[in-house]
């Protein structure tokens, strides 16, 4: 291994999520190709023993080294994936193995940077590495993380969060966004954007971007709320008010608000704004429509309303969002 390569250690254990393990190395492997020289990363998969590890997908992976062996190395980045169990009621719970937690705590002490992918944040938390810090994880286990570790400021919205030399990432494909952010931190935005292009990622998303997307919201079991959701999307370019939605659903305004809070965990106004922002994002990514046109088709009313909604939900502006997308795609 060249002295200018950065050693990344990926923690392996039984039941680990497969994409959490394989996704980041795919990103890191492209750095050398894009830089055209000897710089880059050296990725090592480490486990308690050299026995094959069975992932949550049933795919078996062979470790490169044991935790004990890698503890003697100079670690640039310790990357900790996660694991979950799902009960009969489809409730998701993050798992932590005390032995793995112990090794993560020991290895983190000698690492320049520590990162978690998805529910790997629970392992970092159990190791005491997130105390007093703001952190994210997959939205489905965020409440568990907050309840188990009250000293952590859990934010389930961003796709990743950096707190000094500790990074936490949200769920599933957000591991690619986190990995690209690490590349940008090490080699600059230009290299990270070229890597994103090789991965055919439409956008190297900023950390403040929400991991939630309106079309991916959980489907309600109530026909009335589903009808309202479809009504909103059909009339997204028109003025939509709580009073109008209540009249459409033949309920009072207070009852409508209670229905939205119970079924979708949000208010009618917040849901409408989220739907409009999602539609605007899609148009910014896939069309050359002017901001005035997007304001009209998405029902924002004014450009100022559009900008405020983007700042509130994505911590960016429509112009900056499109610029980032075009930079990555181009």
Are 238 and 188 in a shared domain? no
Q: Roughly how many angstroms between the first and final C-alpha of the chain, as a whole number?
A: 33
Residue where a domain stops, chosen among 198, 225, 244: 198
Note whether 159 and 280 are same-domain residues. no
Tell me whether residue 205 is in a domain. Answer: no
Range of the domain at 289: 214-329
Note the pLDDT of residue 210: 53
Tell me what pLDDT residue 211 has. 54
- How far is the C-alpha of 166 from the C-alpha of 134, rounded, in Å? 10
pLDDT attached to residue 214 = 53
47: Cα within 13 Å, side-chain hemisphere? 19
CATH number of the domain within which 225 lies: 1.10.10.60
160 neighbors 168 (Cβ within 8 angstroms): yes
DSSP of 281-307: HHHHHH----HHHHHHHHT-SSHHHHH
Report yes or no on 207 lying in a domain. Answer: no
pLDDT digits (tens, 9 = 90+) for 168-183: 998 777 888 899 999 9
- How far apart are alpha carbons 200 and 137 in whole angstroms? 24
pLDDT score of 3: 45
In a domain, 206, yes or no: no
Q: What is d(CA 223, CA 84) in angstroms, rounded to the nearest whole number?
A: 31
- Residue 42 has a pLDDT of 94
User: Domain tally for the chain?
Assistant: 2
Question: What pLDDT was estimated at residue 218?
Answer: 46
User: Is 116 inside any structural domain?
Assistant: yes
DSSP 234: H
Pair 117, 257 in one domain: no
User: From the first residue on, what is the mean pLDDT of each consecutive set of 10 residues in the chain (330 residues)?
Assistant: 76 96 94 81 97 96 97 96 88 94 97 96 98 93 94 89 94 84 89 81 50 48 75 92 93 92 87 92 86 95 95 89 65
Q: Return d(Cα 5, Cα 41) in angstroms, integer.
A: 5
Same domain membership, residue 247 and residue 179: no
Sign of CA dihedral 281, 248, 251, 300: positive
- Return the bridge partners of 78, or none: 9, 114
Does 25 share its domain with 138? yes
Contact 171, 145 (CB under 8 A): no
Tokens, residue 11? 């923690």
* pLDDT of the residue at 203: 45
Q: Tokens 């310790």 — which residue?
A: 78
Point out the domain boundary residue: 198, 223, 250: 198
Q: In this structure, are 244 and 280 located in the same domain?
A: yes
Among 174, 198, 222, residue at a domain's last position:
198
């Amino acid at each position: 291994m060249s002295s200018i390569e950065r050693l990344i250690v990926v923690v392996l254990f039984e039941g680990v999520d497969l994409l959490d393990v394989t996704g980041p190395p795919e990103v890191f492997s492209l750095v050398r190709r894009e830089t055209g020289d000897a710089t880059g990363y050296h990725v090592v998969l480490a486990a308690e023993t050299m026995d094959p590890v069975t992932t949550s997908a049933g795919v078996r992976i062979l470790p490169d080294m044991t935790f004990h062996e890698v503890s003697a190395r100079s670690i640039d980045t310790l990357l900790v994936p996660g694991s979950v169990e799902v009960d009969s009621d489809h409730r998701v719970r993050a798992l932590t193995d005390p032995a793995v937690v112990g090794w993560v705590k020991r290895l983190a002490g000698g690492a320049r940077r520590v990162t978690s992918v998805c529910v790997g944040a629970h392992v970092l938390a159990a190791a005491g590495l997130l105390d007093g810090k703001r952190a994210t994880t997959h939205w489905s286990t965020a409440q568990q993380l907050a309840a188990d570790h009250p000293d952590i400021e859990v934010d389930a919205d961003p796709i990743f969060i950096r707190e000094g030399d500790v990074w936490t990432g949200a769920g599933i494909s957000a591991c690619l966004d986190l990995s690209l952010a690490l590349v940008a931190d090490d080699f600059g935005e230009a290299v990270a954007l070229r890597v994103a292009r090789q991965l055919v990622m439409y956008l190297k998303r900023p950390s403040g971007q929400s991991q939630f997307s309106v079309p991916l919201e959980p489907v309600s079991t109530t026909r009335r709320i589903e009808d309202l959701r479809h009504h909103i999307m059909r009339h997204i370019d028109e003025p939509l008010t709580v009073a109008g939605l209540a009249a459409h659903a033949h309920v009072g305004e207070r009852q409508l608000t209670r229905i939205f809070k119970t079924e979708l965990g949000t208010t009618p106004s917040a849901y409408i704004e989220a739907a409009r922002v999602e539609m605007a994002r899609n148009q910014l990514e896939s069309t050359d429509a002017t901001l005035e046109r997007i304001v009209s088709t998405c029902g924002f009313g004014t450009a100022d309303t559009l900008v405020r909604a983007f700042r509130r939900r994505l911590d960016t502006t429509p112009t900056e969002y499109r610029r980032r997308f075009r930079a990555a795609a181009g």
